[in-house]
Structure 1
Amino acid sequence: MGAAIEGPPVGRRTVLKGGAVAAAAVLAGTARAVAQTPVFAHGVASGDPLPTGVILWTRVTPAPDATPGSNRGPDVTVRWEVARDDSFGAVVAAGTTTATAASDHTVKIDASGLAPGTDYRYRFTALGATSPTGRTRTAPAAADTPERLRFGVVSCSNWEAGYFGAYRHLAARGDLDAVLHLGDYLYEYERGQFGGRGGAVRAHDPEHELTTLADYRIRHGQYKTDPDLALLHGSVPFIATWDDHETANDAWSGGAQNHDPATEGDWAARRAAARQAYREWMPVRDTADGRLYRRLRFGTLAELSLLDLRSHRDRQVRPGAGWRDVDAPERSITGREQLDWLIGGLASAPVRWKLVGNPVMIAPVLVPPLEPAVTEGLARTIGIPAGGIPINADQWDGYTADRNRLFRAVHDGGAGGVLFLTGDIHSSWAADLPLDAAAYPAGPVAGAEFVVPSVTSQSPGDIAGPAARGGVVAAEHAVREVNRHLRYLEMTAHGYGVLHVDAGQAQMDWFYLLDVADPASGVRHGISLAVGATGRIEPRPGPVG
């Protein structure tokens, strides 16, 4: 049986170091906020880096009443520039575009003709004002092998549940190639419905739940005013996908748990509004067919397949008798086309590491993973799936046929170096990915999974409360005991991950905020784990870099 990996104790030196970094980042964030102008009140951003191009983003406010979602304001000519230096003495790409009310006065430029693996500065000008200067970086050339890559990894940032200190600390690092945002960039709930411990730390706009295009635009605009998020967007390119809260809780292809057609209208119209606002306000590259799942290469070292697990999935099963449908071969979380695309890419990628940006957890988490002879009888009589009862059927646990096909294809095809990077569950996990959980650790694995905590959204430990911390720790141990492939689990802290990949290993360092309700919170190192030559998770003594 694989030994459980425990996190290191929190030392005074670790906390003080985090506090020093936080102090430096507060100063940087303050400088960024002062540099913004009313015309560019929502900052700048970049994303989806290619070897010769990158998406550049901003939003222009042409008049005081031309606020997000207002559909007001004249057309505005916007100039953009990309340079190799802070003073823009050597502009390498430039042009003009028009910001209009039809796109909520957002601007997205696919800047091309750039050099691979290169740092750039960019800015926008309009109405006599100049935006903050942003920093971005292109991906390595396809044939190049970078010495290393380093990504910030984040998920689940609820405005009302706390301050975005995780973004501030990532921006202060200065060593990231990109930030991978795995979904729940914002939350659709009405004001006060889904806050943090002791209620909302700050209030959502608009006050009501998001259902219309104007609603989603207003909420996106509010999030873009956060100084820590603006600092990070202006410091490093984002690679983002969505999960459910960019539309509605527990979304699936035909609806959502948090959508009532009788009072909130047609689901397709609501999803289309959310998708339009997302594409307007996020620095993601638009595709001809409108799909959000896509793939980015980083030389011969890594390829990232980014999934959309909301637009194409079947409805989640319901507890009780519905459990028997978990194993149904016709049910899909990806949709057939996306799963074929994923399997094909993992099989053919000529890279050391095949990274998968995965919005919901893929490792089996069951209660309990029983022997096949026992579960066969239970499945036939009371509907328990063959692998055990899933804790969360919104995850891949609710769509086992897709997962089984994927894992089998990865294993049988010899696609080594597969690593899933996951958010959603508001807690920290690390897992080997066995073909048969009951046979672990003796049986084969298809790869590994690292799950990052929420930036702010309520964790299981938050919900339980400080007095129940002992019970939360006991629950962490109990879950690991019956799911032996789980190598790490922490159910309380908020923060972020930093993924370092080189030819020898892929290492995730977890970092935890001291208090998300404190806008100047420090940070501590949680744990460092890596996948190396064995293809399974191993402990590391500390962070890389």
Structure 2
Amino acid sequence: MTDTSATDSPVSPAKSPARRTVVKAVAAGTAGAALIPLGVTALASAAEASVFLHGVASGDPLPDGILLWTRVTPTPDATPGSGKGPSTDVEWTVATDKEFTHVVAHGTVTTGPDVDHTVKADVRGLTPGTEYWYRFTASGARSAVGRTRTTPARDASVDRLRLGTVSCANWEAGYFSPYRHLNERGDLDAVLFLGDYIYEYKSGEFAARDTVVRPHQPAHEIISLADYRLRHGTYKTDQDLQALHASLPAIAIWDDHEFADNATSVGANNHQPDTEGDWKARVAAAKQAYFEWMPVRPSTAGTTYRQLRYGKLADISLLDLRSFRSAQGGWGPSGGVDDPDRTITGDAQMQWLKSSLTRSDATWRLVGNSVMISPVAFLSLPAFLLRPLAKLLGLPQEGLAINTDQWDGYTADRRELLGHLKQHGIRNTVFLTGDIHSAWASDVPNEAATYPASGSVATEFTVTSVTSDNVDDILKVPPQTVSLAGVAAIKAANPHVKWIDLDSHGFGVLDVTPDRTQMDYYVVSDRTKRDATAKWARSYRTASGSQRVERADSPVR
């Protein structure tokens, strides 16, 4: 695949993305074109609908640039993962108005079966803090119009940043109504996808209380490159996901289900080498499909850790907590959770993260963090709640006190990072987390055993799942009933945890100002209904300089 973008600049101070660059430019014969309404369901002809089946998207906004994405179906047999269909030239156009009367950038990308007919254009030379409109043309058809926005200049004073935050969207467990509600707000700067954008399971293995709301494609567990491509393509047909991508830039990291459950650098719970082949080959296939189908820049080959910035208000460090992590450990001096030779970040990423946090001159240091960093002990739970939580969180079902898939299973790395924050007096660090199908608001203590006397070095907001099963779903009971005993037990054993919702599905809205960050938690009425409603549940905030979460009385308006 080739594009006509300008020469790439580093995504983070330490990393530069590798890609093929400028080949040719085309004349911008688009001025005065008729308006196509925003939203992927508003395609103007059958030809457009048949070519641009998977919508349009933008991502990784910079002060001077944005990454544009689409996928074309040049012939009916060129379905995702098929390896069929001809090479196709795709023209992209960027304008400052949705009528495309003022075109500011344009070019052509050649795509084909080698990249599953996906298209990326890394457009540079744009103006900071500016709204843009974009579209694609191929095979005589024109895509829906997308809207995006560059970030403010690096040294700009910024009054507010507002991010939608989502995690754990399982196609078989329901519809993606949280995406619709985020899209309808009209007040967001971007959407932060915190992992588990897709799920790898075979159809029926992980659904909605064992009920498949809509079947996966392919129906079997995805293992090969063709499998991962088809699964990504299936998700990208969801109307609410398409509309959200067409309206707002995406900022995305991966977690385990983009590969397989509880993935590490050496294997996964849901990978059996004797029947499913080499783990490294499966990871390579999953990563290739991810970078083809997602509007993200790889910071280095095969990783997603990188940094974005919103003026002087916030730096966002985005972590890859799967590519470098050691196998999950147990107890004992060798290979246990406290073994200093075990890592969740890898040495290079840890040094990059510490350096980025130290060097940052922004008011807030946000960390996109796919698994919880706050320590949590579960041993005090009654058995009838421990077992469903163990199933959900990956805990041994006979009572191990920690979740070894989280930072709890890699305590040396956590001590190093949190000790660095404390030693260097780094303040206003907020971890933004997904993964565990529940919502949490927590202080992050450097020494949990002596909290609150020893203080807190950061805070963490964890958002619940879009659709994936919660505790009440596993138990098949009404929400906010028996799980309340688990909430009380967890909070009693972990006083730094201020709030938990183990049962709801929904999303978060993070609002950042120079004075505070606030996470507004929203829940949806029924994940199995396409028209599910949403309502505000709780809000928690962190005042600048406090390193503490406190309850807020209302969501940000």
- The answer to whether the 8 Å contact 1:187/1:245 transfers is yes
Q: Please tell me whether the aligned partners of residues 354 and 420 of structure 2 are also in contact (alpha carbons under 8 angstroms).
A: yes
Aligned identity (percent) is: 52
Alignment-mate amino acid for residue 405 of structure 2:
D
| Cα deviation digits, residues 395-419 of structure 1 (max 9, x gap) | 0000011001111100110111100
After TM superposition, the score normalised by the length of structure 1 is 0.89
Give the equivalent residue in structure 1 for 2:393. none
Name the structure 1 match of 2:353: 342
Compute the displacement of 1:297 (Å). Answer: 1.0
Greater fraction helix: 1
Question: Shift of the alpha carbon at 1:159?
Answer: 0.1
1:47-196 maps to which residues of 2 (within 5 A)?
A: 47-196=59-208
Aligned mates of 1:542, 1:247 — CA distance in 2: 38
In structure 2, the CA distance between the partners of 1:429 and 1:90, relative to structure 1 (3 Å rule), is same
Matched, 1:513 2:536: no
Question: Of 285, 299, 307, which aligns to 2:319?
Answer: 307
Secondary structure of the residue aligned to 1:295 is strand
Amino acid at match of 1:430: A
Q: Does residue 205 in structure 1 map to residue 217 in structure 2? A: yes
Task: Give distance in 1, aligned partners of 2:173 and 2:378.
Answer: 30
Closer, same or farther in 2 for the Cα pair 1:217/1:168, shift >3 Å? same
- Where does structure 1 lack aligned partners over 5 or more consecutive residues? 1-26, 370-387
Distance 1:99 1:394, change over 3 A: same
Q: Deviations over 1:382-432 (max 9, x none)?
A: xxxxxx954311000000110011111001101111000000000000100
Scaled by the length of structure 2, what TM-score is found?
0.87
Q: Residue 473 of structure 1: which of 456, 460, 484 is its match?
A: 484
CA distance in 2, matches of 1:393, 1:490: 21
Deviation at 1:440, TM superposition (A): 1.4
From 440, 449, 474, the counterpart of 2:451:
440
Asked if residue 405 in structure 1 is aligned to residue 416 in structure 2, the reply is yes
One-letter identity of the residue aligned with 1:63: T
Shift of 1:291: 2.4
Residues 1:280 and 2:299 aligned together: no
Aligned residue number for residue 418 of structure 1: 429
Q: Distance in 2 between matches of 1:322 and 1:224?
A: 45
Please state how far the C-alpha of 1:321 moved relative to its aligned partner.
Answer: 5.8
Q: Give yes or no for contact 1:29–1:168 (8 Å, CA) kept in 2.
A: no
| Alignment match, 1:3 | none
Alignment of 1:306-325 (within 5 A): 306-318=318-330, 325=336
Alpha-carbon deviations, 1:153-195, whole Å to 9, x = none?
A: 0000000001000000001011111100010000000111100
Give the RMSD, CA atoms, in angstroms. 1.8
1:285 deviation in Å?
1.0
- C-alpha distance in 2 between matches for 1:33 and 1:191: 31
Aligned partner (choices 496, 518, 524) of residue 507 of structure 2: 496
Could you give the per-residue CA deviations for residues 170-226 of structure 1, whole angstroms, max 9, x where no partner exists? 010111111000100000001111001251100000011111000000000000000
Instruction: Output aligned runs, 1:226-375, within 5 Å.
Output: 226-318=238-330, 325-367=336-378
Amino acid at match of 1:301: L
Inter-partner Cα distance in structure 1 for 2:464 and 2:497? 16
Q: Distance in 1 between matches of 2:95 and 2:40?
A: 24
How far residue 287 of structure 1 moved from its aligned partner, in angstroms, is 3.8
1:535 is displaced (CA, Å) by: 2.4
Note if contact 1:432-1:448 (Cα within 8 Å) is conserved in structure 2. yes
CA distance in 1, matches of 2:190, 2:405: 28
Tell me, in whole angstroms, the C-alpha distance in 2 between the residues paired with 1:32 and 1:220.
Answer: 22
Change (3 A) 1:268 1:30: closer
**2:69 match: secondary structure:** strand
Contact 1:464/1:472 (8 A) holds in 2: no
Q: Residue type matched to 1:65 in 2?
A: D
SS of corresponding position for 1:80: strand
Residue 482 of structure 2 aligns to a residue in which SS? helix
Match of residue 34 from structure 2: none
Deviations 1:286-329 (A, max 9, x none): 345432110111111000000000000000124x6699811111
Q: Pick 1 or 2: higher relative contact order, CA cutoff 8 A, min separation 6.
A: 1
Q: Distance in 2 between matches of 1:232 and 1:468?
A: 28
Shift of 1:435: 1.0
Secondary structure of the structure 1 residue equivalent to 2:337: helix
Q: Does 1:395 align with 2:406?
A: yes
Contact 1:140 1:298 in 2 (8 A): yes
Counterparts of 1:417 and 1:207 in 2: how far apart (Å)? 45
Count the aligned residue pairs: 500
C-alpha displacement of 1:456: 0.3
Matched with 1:536 is 548
Q: Per-residue CA shift, 1:100-125, capped at 9, x if unaligned?
A: 11000000000111000111000000
Q: 1:409 to 1:287 in 2, by over 3 A?
A: closer
2:51 is paired with a residue whose SS is: helix
**Would the aligned equivalents of 1:159 and 1:186 in 2 still touch at CA under 8 Å?**
yes
Is 2:92–2:106's contact at 8 Å kept on the other side of the alignment? yes
Q: Look up the match of 2:10.
A: none
Q: Secondary structure, in 3 states, of the residue corresponding to 2:302?
A: coil
Q: Distance between the aligned counterparts of 1:78 and 1:475, measured in 2? A: 53
Q: CA–CA distance in 2 between the matches of 1:177 and 1:407?
A: 29
Distance in 2, matches of 1:163 and 1:323, equals: 44
